[in-house]
Amino acid sequence: MNDPQNARKPKILVTRRFPDAVMARAARDYDATFHDDSTLLSGDALVRACEGQDGLFFSPTEKLTAEVIAGLPESVKVAATFSVGVDHVDLEAARARGLKVGNTPDVLTDATADIALLLMLGAARRAYEGERMVREERWYGWSPTEMLGIHMSGKRLGILGMGRIGQAVARRARGFDMEIHYHNRSRLSPDLEAGATYHESPDDLLKVSQFLSINAPATKENHHFLNAERIALLPERAVVVNTARGTLVKDEDLIAALRSGRIAAAGLDVFEGEPKINPVYKDLSNCFLLPHMGSATEETRDAMGFKALDNLDAFFAGKPLPAEVA
Ligand code: DGY
């Protein structure tokens, strides 16, 4: 970075314990204050912790609401989130305040798409039930009719949100001989579509989706997108997976459909209100549940941290952020 000898290093608040290599680079290049990871910073505490800082290196667990942004000291001019999702940031408020915000697209695409496939397989093939049966010594030997799941090959996969991650899910699902359908704000070019069928309306996508993968970013418009009315559009005994954000699903409605068998199984990595998820999910054996670990590989988390630091480096060098969202 452009940091002549003796020039003061920019001061940044690092809100979480990020991977070691990321922390080392932050410590090398910045006058960094590292927040102890034992508590999460929010509201006034987050604002107070920003006192005297020039920038912020934060994660989805720190909410940059309009109030927090309004309270930030004038000195804080840039905020780099360790995530591709930016639903924890009020981007309008950031723009109005002149706070630059950067995120970490691309580097977590493959890891997240891998988890979507794991959820599809885990839900459709009853991985949770099987695992438990083995560990609890309730497995009495191979059986022609036990633990029958749903076949993925030849099924229609509907992808809601065909951005980078949706496309990577499609590529993987083709390897399972699935037929790809999608809805996206805009239709992809034929080379990116790669034979997938575009549905202009999300409801039309639901009607054909024997498997549904939610890959759209959370917005005000798609809050509780998957509700009882939309579940009723899905084919009987569909499988639903979500690696995007929990707010796209209305939990009570999905739970009711999982209980009745209208939805055969769900694979969920993200939840509304996480980590305090709707407790009923834990009682449903047709749910395969993961703790928001889509991007959780060593390589990916390092790459996310470096990308967040690239955003800060660019800002303090007077350049545009490589991944600027506000
Ligand atoms: C993101 O980057 O938005 C993920 O959900 C966090 O891994």
Question: And the tokens for 249?
Answer: 């699903």
In a domain, 215, yes or no: yes
- Output the pLDDT for position 230: 98
Choosing from 61, 81, 108 the residue with most ligand 1 atoms within 8 A of its CB, the one to mutate for a pocket test is 108
Q: Does the pLDDT value for residue 3 go beyond 90?
A: no
Give residue 302's domain range: 11-107+298-316
- Output the pLDDT for position 315: 98
- Output the pLDDT for position 4: 57
| Nearest-atom index, ligand 1, CA of 245 | 5
SS (H, E, C) the chain: CCCCCCCCCCEEEECCCCCHHHHHHHHHHCEEEECCCCCCCCHHHHHHHCCCCCEEEECCCCCECHHHHHHCCCCCCEEEECCCCCCCECHHHHHHHCCEEECCCCCCHHHHHHHHHHHHHHHHCCHHHHHHHHHCCCCCCCCCCCCCCCCCCCCEEEEECCCHHHHHHHHHHHCCCCEEEEECCCCCCHHHHCCCEECCCHHHHHHHCCEEEECCCCCCCCCCCECHHHHCCCCCCEEEEECCCHHHECHHHHHHHHHHCCEEEEEECCCCCCCCCCHHHHHCCCEEECCCCCCCCHHHHHHHHHHHHHHHHHHHCCCCCCCECC
Are both 241 and 251 inside the same structural domain?
yes
In a domain, 64, yes or no: yes
Are both 132 and 257 inside the same structural domain?
yes
Q: Are 258 and 252 in contact (CB under 8 A)?
A: no
Q: Does the pLDDT value for residue 5 go beyond 80?
A: no
Are both 75 and 121 inside the same structural domain?
no
pLDDT for 25-74, tens place per residue? 999 999 999 998 899 999 999 999 999 999 999 999 999 999 999 999 99
Q: Does the pLDDT value for residue 292 go beyond 60?
A: yes
Taking Cα atoms as reference points, which of 86, 93, 79, 40 lies closest to residue 62? 40
Are both 95 and 227 inside the same structural domain?
no
pLDDT for 109-163, tens place per residue? 999 999 999 999 999 999 999 999 999 999 999 999 999 999 999 999 999 999 9
| Nearest-atom index, ligand 1, CA of 81 | 2
In a domain, 27, yes or no: yes
pLDDT for 160-175, tens place per residue? 999 999 999 999 999 9
As a whole number of angstroms, the distance between CA 129 and CA 287 comes to 9
Q: Does the pLDDT value for residue 2 go beyond 60?
A: no
pLDDT for 86-95, tens place per residue? 999 999 999 9
As a whole number of angstroms, the distance between CA 13 and CA 31 comes to 9
Taking Cα atoms as reference points, which of 237, 160, 172, 241 lies closest to residue 199? 160
In a domain, 165, yes or no: yes
Q: Does the pLDDT value for residue 197 go beyond 90?
A: yes
Across the chain, what does the average pLDDT equal? Answer: 97
Are both 63 and 200 inside the same structural domain?
no
Mean pLDDT of 225-251: 98
Look at the block and give the residue holding tokens 């942004």: 69
Strands (E), the chain: 11-14, 31-34, 55-58, 78-81, 100-102, 156-160, 179-183, 197-198, 211-214, 238-242, 263-268, 287-289
- Output the pLDDT for position 7: 83
Are both 101 and 113 inside the same structural domain?
no
Is 183 a residue of the active site? no
Report CA(83)–ligand 1 centroid distance (Å): 4
Are both 132 and 225 inside the same structural domain?
yes
Strand partners, 241: 213, 267
Are both 50 and 162 inside the same structural domain?
no
Choosing from 82, 84, 269 the residue with most ligand 1 atoms within 8 A of its CB, the one to mutate for a pocket test is 84
Are both 137 and 158 inside the same structural domain?
yes
Report CA(107)–ligand 1 centroid distance (Å): 11
Are both 133 and 77 inside the same structural domain?
no
Mean pLDDT of 69-80: 98
Is 35 a residue of the active site? no
pLDDT for 7-22, tens place per residue? 899 999 999 999 999 9
Are both 143 and 285 inside the same structural domain?
yes
Taking CB atoms and a 6 Å cutoff, what residues make up the pocket around ligand 1? 60, 83-85, 108, 294-295
Nearest CA to ligand 1 atom 7: 295
CATH number of the domain that 134 lies in?
3.40.50.720
- Output the pLDDT for position 270: 98
In a domain, 47, yes or no: yes
- Number of domains present in the structure of the chain: 2
Are both 282 and 304 inside the same structural domain?
no
| Nearest-atom index, ligand 1, CA of 270 | 5
Percentage of the chain lying above the pLDDT 70 cut: 98
Is 245 a residue of the active site? yes
As a whole number of angstroms, the distance between CA 276 and CA 271 comes to 8
Report CA(85)–ligand 1 centroid distance (Å): 5
In a domain, 158, yes or no: yes
In a domain, 4, yes or no: no
Please identify which of the residues 125, 245, 262, 324 carries the catalytic annotation. Answer: 245
Taking Cα atoms as reference points, which of 48, 44, 42, 53 lies closest to residue 14? 53
